[in-house]
Amino acid sequence: MSGIVAPQRFPLRIVVREGRAAHAAMHSHEVGQLLYPEQGSTLLETRQRVIRLAPDRAAWIPRGVPHAVLMDRSFRYHSVYVEPDFYDAGRCVVVCVRPLLRELILDAASWSPDGGGGEQRLRKARVLADELASAPWTEPGIQIPGDARIAPICRALEQDPADNRSLGAWARVAGASEKTIQRAFVAHTGMSFQQWRNYARMTRAAELHAQGWRQLDIALAVGYATEGAYAQAFKKFYGYPPSRLPRGG
């Protein structure tokens, strides 16, 4: 993460969007973007990764990086566009939104559209950028393999991990044999199709636990008909049962 220098013009522009469902097709910006979902979950897709965001996480998207955004239920999210001479980081990361950063993002929604507001707002903007620079971060989301035969399968399973279509069904969609698709998964992900799907399901399950979902609802959301089957799969993957996880909310 790079440092902060004095801006030549007001360095932040804030856009807040809300609704019931929406999709923004692949696009990019000339400045960096901090994408923060205040309400609901947001699916962010870049060329290489699919990233799920919740109200405790935001995504830093560098300028020029193509991305798409999908919200499949009620949402409210904030886009903070940052001039590169004020703050600039060259890689896409998921940022842990600490309380101060969250309050600054929410406060910025009330700033005037022309970016004015004098020295007080400029000081707030500096603190926001400083919080962004120092916030804990992780690598973003599930990596989507570059192989054109299996990339659409991986994206579909990340978006809907409850999709129970068999390898044979997916092979027909891809126009290839089961053996070809299985070999492609192993070659490009190090996992079989079944292992990759389970990885996507368990990753999503942990996120839903953190959001405070009930265990039965999580089981259904990631493709299991019963809590028992889900709990067994979770324990096999993580080494401990889902009941050990604290529920968020």
* pLDDT score recorded for residue 114: 59
Question: Which whole-number Å values give the CA distances from 157 to 77, 128, 153, in the listed order?
Answer: 24, 35, 6
* pLDDT score recorded for residue 240: 77
* Token output for 82: 């940052």
User: What residues have CB less than 8 Å from 20, skipping those under 6 apart?
Assistant: 73, 74, 75
Amino acid symbol at 144: I
Q: What is the CATH number of domain 145-244?
A: 1.10.10.60
* pLDDT score recorded for residue 246: 64
* pLDDT score recorded for residue 105: 95
Taking residue 165's Cβ as centre, other Cβ atoms within 10 Å add up to 14
Q: Where are the domains of the chain?
A: 12-138, 145-244
Q: What is the CATH number of domain 12-138?
A: 2.60.120.810
DSSP string, the chain: -------SS--EEEEEEEES-EEEEEE--SSEEEEEEEES-EEEEESSEEEEE-TTEEEEE-TT--EEEEE-SSEEEEEEEE-TTT---SS-EEEE--HHHHHHHHHHTTS-TTS--HHHHHHHHHHHHHHHHHS-EE--SEEPPS-TTTHHHHHHHHH-TT----HHHHHHHHTS-HHHHHHHHHHHHSS-HHHHHHHHHHHHHHHHHHTT--HHHHHHHTT-SSHHHHHHHHHHHHSS-GGGSPP--
* pLDDT score recorded for residue 1: 42
Q: What is the pLDDT along the chain (249 residues), one digit of tens a residue?
A: 444 444 457 888 899 999 988 889 999 999 999 999 998 778 888 888 888 887 888 999 999 999 999 887 788 999 999 999 899 988 898 888 889 999 999 999 888 665 555 788 889 999 999 999 998 887 777 888 889 999 999 999 988 999 999 999 999 999 999 999 999 999 998 889 999 999 899 888 888 887 788 999 999 999 999 999 999 998 888 877 888 766 655
